[in-house]
Amino acid sequence: QVQLQESGPGLVKPSETLSLTCTVSGGSTDYYYWSWIRQPPGKGLEYIGYVFYSGTTNYNPSLKSRVLMSVDPSKRHFSLRLTSVTAADTAVYYCARLVPENYFESSGSGTYWDFDLWGRGTLVTVSS
Amino acid sequence: SSELTQDPAVSVALGQTVRITCQGDSLRKYYASWYQLKPGQAPLLVMSAKNERPSGIPDRFSGSRSGNTASLTISGAQAEDGADYYCSSGDSSGNYRVFGTGTKVTVL
């Protein structure tokens, strides 16, 4: 049974870099998209981005200038770095597996996307 | 701000039916998946974008789509269904994932 577990510092100072790792246990990082999502206290979910096992990335345009994601297949983990953090970056950070499935209909074609497996999340507070 | 809008909160009597809606222009082109969030637990996919229930999800959960609205229906709500529910789909370009504003479901 594949499980995801986030890890990293729970407290980061303003202007510094937030670094988190998600460990994939019971499986491999191969052939999947691995994503990060966050939830500020009292607010909704926000998509941060994904990294494909090959290294291709997709970042939320609102965070793109500060985000870097990578995957390390040998260690079965993937990582998030968010630079120049402020108090607005305080949130529970979740890692999740993102699974696409192509479809073909009479009206056209497209892709279904599902976050089918999540970690429990880790709270990161930005404060001096 | 989210491109997908949900009612902030709904309540349902035990054993009754509740429908949670998700509205947005992108839903005319892209399909939505649904997630259940409970404190201290890993979020759970309860309805895929293909409108299928993942293994282990009770058949009282069902999904539908019409125009710019996606819906998640819980038929015969149980106490354990009380949670926050979020829809997710593509943004207007289809290039990025977005989440709805979330709905808190209370089972009375």
Identify the pLDDT of residue A73. Answer: 85
pLDDT (mean) for A102-128: 94
Residue A32 has pLDDT above 60, yes or no: yes
Tell me which of A98, A112, A122, A123 to substitute to probe the interface with B (most B C-beta atoms closer than 10 Å).
Answer: A112
CB A115 within 8 A of CB B33: yes
B98 contacts on A by Cβ (under 8 Å): 47
pLDDT (mean) for A42-68: 97
Of the candidates A14, A53, A61, the one whose C-alpha atom is nearest the C-alpha of residue A31 is A53
Of all residues in chain B, the one with the smallest CA distance to A35 is B97
Identify the pLDDT of residue B44. Answer: 98
Identify the pLDDT of residue A75. Answer: 85
CA distance A128 to B45: 36
pLDDT (mean) for A38-43: 97
Interface residue A60 vs chain B (CB under 8 A): yes
CA distance B34 to B42: 14
Identify the pLDDT of residue B2. Answer: 66
CA B57 and chain centroid, separation? 13
B20 contacts on A by Cβ (under 8 Å): none
Identify the pLDDT of residue B62. Answer: 98
Identify the pLDDT of residue B14. Answer: 98
Tell if the CB–CB gap between A120 and B40 is shorter than 8 Å.
yes
- How many Cβ atoms from other residues are within 10 Å of residue B14's Cβ? 12
Using H for helix, E for strand and C for coil, what is the string for chain B?
Answer: CCCEEECCEEEECCCCEEEEEEECHHHHCCCCEEEEECCCCCCEEEECCCCCCCCCCCCCEEEEEECCEEEEEEECCCHHHCEEEEEEEECCCCCCEEEECCEEEEEC
pLDDT (mean) for A69-78: 92
Identify the pLDDT of residue B1. Answer: 57
Distance, in angstroms, between B55 CA and closest chain A CA? Answer: 11
A50 contacts on B by Cβ (under 8 Å): 97
Give chain B's residues under pLDDT 70.
Answer: 1-2
- What is the per-residue burial (b if ≥16 Cβ within 10 Å, else e) of A42-58? eebbbbbbbbbeeeebb
Comparing A105 with B57, the larger pLDDT belongs to: B57
Tell if the CB–CB gap between A115 and B54 is shorter than 8 Å.
no
Task: Give chain A's mean pLDDT.
Answer: 96
Interface of B with A (CB under 8 A): 2, 29-31, 33, 35, 37, 40-45, 48-50, 54, 86, 88-90, 94-102
CA distance B94 to A122: 28
Comparing B3 with A93, the larger pLDDT belongs to: A93
